[in-house]
Structure 1
Amino acid sequence: MSDQKNSLLQGTVILAVAAFISKFLGFIYKAFLARMIGGVGLGLYEKAYPVYTLILTISIVGIPVAISKLVSEKRAEGKDYIADYIFRIALRVSFIFGLVASVTIVILAKPIARYLLADIKVYYSIIAIAPAIFIVSIMATYRGYFQGLRKMKPTGISQVIEQLIRMTTMILLAYLLLPYGVELAAAGAASGAFWGSIGGLITILIIYYRYKPQTATEQKVKDVELPNLKDILVKIFSLALPVTIGALILPLMRLVDASMITRRLIVAGFTLNQATSLYGQFNGMAMTLVRFPTVIAASLAVNLVPAISEAATLKEDKLVKNRIAKAFKLALYLSIPASLGLFILARPLCVMIFGVAQAAISLRYVALGVVSVSLQQVTSSILQGFNHPKLPARNLFLGVIANAGLNYFLTAMPQLGIRGAAIGTVTGFTLAAILNIIAVFKIIKPDFDYYNLIIKPLYSSIIMSMIVYLTYYSLSHLVDIKIITTLTAVLIGAISYGMILLFNGGLTKQDLELLPKIGSKLASKLDKLGLVRG
């Protein structure tokens, strides 16, 4: 039972480490792109990307989540051979859907650029990114299979390789194509998604074929017990389609933003180039920083679906509640300090990473949404694990409506401008998160200690924020190198937050022991020093 309880956090840590590395590499290429192709070029890239994510979501049709859930259930029942059979069928479906999606987006690229995004310069970026849809569709199915096995390393390794190749190729191609125009440089950057996905797919295929001989079953003996192909497809799509509908909402929200924000900024009095640049600052810079601290929640969300599904299948209510409580605690303990930290250091972070101080205008607003984004991701996966994929889809859709309405009216106001888009985004995610939490409590009453869950990380984060503020502005008078003062403030803030949680008992010895490899030794040393509670 101990291994079962620990596996949720361990799997999350593996995915989170990989995601942190990927996001860090993402920071690097966004920083290079911002300086290389400017706000307008980054804006063109960011306009094409929602088209890619929307069509990719359609082509994947929720298969990775369905595979993760079905494989986890069949393994829990001891029917490994059926789990492998389901995976092989899903792989064929992904191949067909991905190929059709890539070809379709190439054919429709020009009308999408001209009429939907109102900027024909985006055409080249859409064409460049389209082939990645086919490759990622296949790769995502393999990742879903391994996640169903509760093996997160293959996903993590392939993510890092994918991002490393993507970063290298997009910077190189953007640099080589820049002399031919900013729109072609943006297209070169967009094509990095294709080259990265090739690297990620090759990586996960190597891992799969090395792993396969260890899990192979005597298929000839089992063939008579295999379920009907039609029944398998119905099962996959009955799980996948509601997830897809829910997953479509977020990229649809970003696509609406890409189309609407530029238009409404023009109404507010900005030129097309100014509006495109502001959108690049909002989505390519501010939102990039906001998404970084939510990688823990995203990693946790991926791991939660099979974890909750497995525990529910085994009818272990105590284990289900335990996993939900841990998920909420991890999300809140990381997102609250991240939100306040991004708010306080908005300007120095934007200058240090992107070289654009103006992006801090958006960041100060969207930083307040870090907690909402994290909780929305975690609670959506909890509901999916309980076979209620329609609920998070509905709730996120309501959030998107709120976001679109506020964006339309607020962004067109000259006194608000891009701040209106930020307010709309934060409001949308907050509404979706609140509705999800209400739905979770209707299904199961988690065992929450609210003082430990909310109050301790909140006042610890407030104290940390004061320390960060004093550290940064004190060092600024002594050292004129912004990168040193900013990184020092971030490091001292992280250390002080951890120490405050140790002193107030928010971070316990049991929490530290769950950390893979270093957890037990760290907990033991801190216990001897009297710095951690049992």
Structure 2
Amino acid sequence: MSDKESKLAAGSIITMLGSVILRLGGFIYRFILSRLLTTAEYGIVGLTLPFQNTFIIAASGGIPPAIAKYVSQYKAVDDKKMVHQISITGMKLMIFLSIIAAIIMLIISEPVAMTMWHKPEAILPLRLVSLIVPFSVVVGALRGIFQGFYNMQDLFYSKFLEQIATLILASSLVFIGWYAAGAVLGTALGFLVSLIGSYYLYKKDIKDVYLNSEFEKIPFKEETKIMAQIFKFSIPVVISGIAEIVLYDSGTFFIGIFLPSLFAGLYTNATAISRIPLIIANSISVSVLPATSEADSLEDENLLKMYIHQSYRYTALTSLPVTAFIIIYALPLMSLLFGENFAGGAGALSISASGMFFFSMYLIASSMCQGLGKPSFPMYSLIVGAIISIVSCVILIPILDIRGASLSTAIATFVLMIMTIYEVTRLTKIQPPYKDLAKILIVTIIMMIIMFIMPKTLIGMIIGGIVASIIYMLLIVYLKAIKSEDMAFVEHIINKTGPLKKYLSKILIKVNNYIES
């Protein structure tokens, strides 16, 4: 297997492992809170999430990616003074923006809870969101520095520490009677713990090792130039971030307006499960951008075609069966993970899962656009998707309850997917591998039929999932929907199976020989 054929697989697998661990922690958090709170109380927690996400993104101003970019850029030429100054200036900007965002959140909490949602019990949790913003923003700045130094280990530790602290503190506060407010306060304290831990890691691994000199304070005029430099990069990032949150969370917001709180609880957990396929897509997209950029800069059309086709196939091969499993077994999944009280969210989950597959394909095409030097198009398409989501929610939620919110997201993400794939095709003159994708879709439908005839119980879900997965893999190989260059993806997984590697490698060789025949 050549280095170029395995480039996508190597980066994708490493990123995926970290994502799976963090996603698992998120499910444990929801699992515990779903059992400590009533569905309505959990719904109040869910209603705060759009505000948490929006204000964290807005307050950070898209600056962490800018910090990562410029820290990496100046570190490459060993300009320690500029690495230090970018870090300090970026941090100052983010703290200033976070204070403004926290004040705005405090001011709007009561009008949103009382006037828009008519839910007085949401006032305190919304006010507590203002505590989350400053801590999360400073943590975000430190994570941007970690990323700029390619210190992915400390980046993971920072996120993991936040998750563990939030899980313990939020659960404890809910348990002692703080209910929804306790869950939100626990999140704020989780970020505080992560802030302390992240600063320790920053001091130990970066400040004491690399930035260990004394740096003169630069004049304010020079610092404003650095601020402008950071803002120029960060504005498209923050616009894209807010548009993505609107796309994801507009359903939750409008559920708060049109429906009782318990529906928000059902929808919050349904959408959490539906986003599982995004773990795979996010992992692949991290590697797609540099790979596409490399092929484009080399003007190697064959290499570019291979990367584009690999990206679409990897995503479809892995995300489609996971999506199919979630659609068919939505009811037992909701009941098993969150309790019988949340079974009513199964219909919304089935619809949301399809929407997240569309978004997975968008993520891949978006990374290709960025790698081809066209980063603005994904931002514009996200804005279009956000507008479609808002309009659809207003129309469909009063008619279809939370299923209307899920359908709105699915419609918006489908439009996103079509727009962005079309743009990639226009830019590269390379068509997606329609024949391979059609084969994968047909095999997935067969997989769904097999799972559908099984009982919708825990045992039925396990047996149906195993049998359908085996048949899926056999048919994918038989129909040659997977190519020999795609074997690198499977090979990287097999290399991490320990004692099973010896046996699985033999099977892989036979499969590869069949595909090439």
Same fold (TM over 0.5): yes
State the shift of 1:126 in Å. 1.4
**Conserved? CA contact 1:44–1:122, under 8 Å:** yes
What is the number of equivalent residue pairs in this alignment?
502
Compared CA separation, residues 330 and 26, structure 1 to 2 (3 A): same
**Conserved? CA contact 2:84–2:211, under 8 Å:** no
State the shift of 1:103 in Å. 3.8
2:442 alignment partner AA: Y
Instruction: Using the aligned pairs only, state the percent identity.
Output: 23
- Which whole-Å CA distance do the structure 2 matches of 1:483 and 1:35 have between them? 19
SS at match of 2:297: coil
State the shift of 1:217 in Å. 6.9
Q: After the TM superposition, which residues 365-384 of structure 1 pair with which residues of structure 2 at under 5 Å, given as runs?
A: 365-384=351-370
Pairing 1:292–2:276 present: yes
The superposition leaves residues 411-441 of structure 1 with CA deviations (integer Å, 9 ceiling, x where unpaired) of 222xx33322221111011112221222333
Pairing 1:455–2:438 present: yes
Task: Tell me the equivalent position of 1:194.
Answer: 188
Q: After the TM superposition, which residues 254-403 of structure 1 pair with which residues of structure 2 at under 5 Å, given as runs?
A: 256-265=250-259, 275-282=260-267, 284-301=268-285, 307=290, 311=294, 315-318=297-300, 324-354=308-338, 355=340, 356-386=342-372, 388-403=374-389
Task: Tell me the equivalent position of 1:431.
Answer: 415
State the shift of 1:67 in Å. 3.0
2:275 alignment partner AA: R
The superposition leaves residues 386-409 of structure 1 with CA deviations (integer Å, 9 ceiling, x where unpaired) of 554432222122112222222222
- Which whole-Å CA distance do the structure 2 matches of 1:241 and 1:432 have between them? 21
**Conserved? CA contact 1:63–1:90, under 8 Å:** yes
**Conserved? CA contact 1:147–1:303, under 8 Å:** no
Task: Tell me the equivalent position of 1:121.
Answer: 121
In structure 2, which of residues 378, 383, 406 is the aligned counterpart of residue 422 of structure 1?
406
Compared CA separation, residues 421 and 214, structure 1 to 2 (3 A): same
- Which whole-Å CA distance do the structure 1 matches of 2:469 and 2:91 have between them? 42
State the shift of 1:63 in Å. 1.4
The superposition leaves residues 445-502 of structure 1 with CA deviations (integer Å, 9 ceiling, x where unpaired) of 55854434x13432332333344334x42xx7xxxxx444434444554455445445
Moved more, 6-15 or 88-97: 6-15
2:409 alignment partner AA: T
The superposition leaves residues 328-351 of structure 1 with CA deviations (integer Å, 9 ceiling, x where unpaired) of 333322221122111111111112
Compared CA separation, residues 213 and 105, structure 1 to 2 (3 A): closer
Task: Tell me the equivalent position of 1:272.
Answer: none
In structure 2, which of residues 233, 238, 248 is the aligned counterpart of residue 244 of structure 1?
238
1:464 alignment partner AA: M
**Conserved? CA contact 1:18–1:160, under 8 Å:** no
Compared CA separation, residues 111 and 397, structure 1 to 2 (3 A): same
Compared CA separation, residues 326 and 129, structure 1 to 2 (3 A): farther
- Which whole-Å CA distance do the structure 1 matches of 2:3 and 2:192 have between them? 35
2:297 alignment partner AA: K
Compared CA separation, residues 24 and 134, structure 1 to 2 (3 A): same
- Which whole-Å CA distance do the structure 2 matches of 1:13 and 1:335 have between them? 14
In structure 1, which of residues 222, 226, 235 is the aligned counterpart of residue 229 of structure 2?
235
State the shift of 1:243 in Å. 1.3
Moved more, 358-367 or 206-215: 206-215
- Which whole-Å CA distance do the structure 1 matches of 2:356 and 2:313 have between them? 15
**Conserved? CA contact 1:331–1:375, under 8 Å:** yes
- Which whole-Å CA distance do the structure 2 matches of 1:72 and 1:232 have between them? 15
Task: Tell me the equivalent position of 1:173.
Answer: 173
Stretches of 4+ moved more than 6 A in 1?
A: 1-5, 217-224, 519-524
Task: Tell me the equivalent position of 1:510.
Answer: 488
SS at match of 1:130: helix
- Which whole-Å CA distance do the structure 2 matches of 1:4 and 1:202 have between them? 40
Task: Tell me the equivalent position of 1:91.
Answer: 91
Compared CA separation, residues 252 and 118, structure 1 to 2 (3 A): farther
The superposition leaves residues 293-335 of structure 1 with CA deviations (integer Å, 9 ceiling, x where unpaired) of 2122234445656x369748x9345476665554433332222
Gaps of 5+ in 1: 178-183, 266-274, 477-481
TM-score by length of 2: 0.84
State the shift of 1:527 in Å. 4.3
- Which whole-Å CA distance do the structure 2 matches of 1:148 and 1:301 have between them? 18
**Conserved? CA contact 2:117–2:257, under 8 Å:** no
TM-score by length of 1: 0.82
2:440 alignment partner AA: P
What RMSD, in angstroms, separates the aligned Cα atoms of the two structures? 3.6
**Conserved? CA contact 1:166–1:193, under 8 Å:** yes
Task: Tell me the equivalent position of 2:426.
Answer: 442
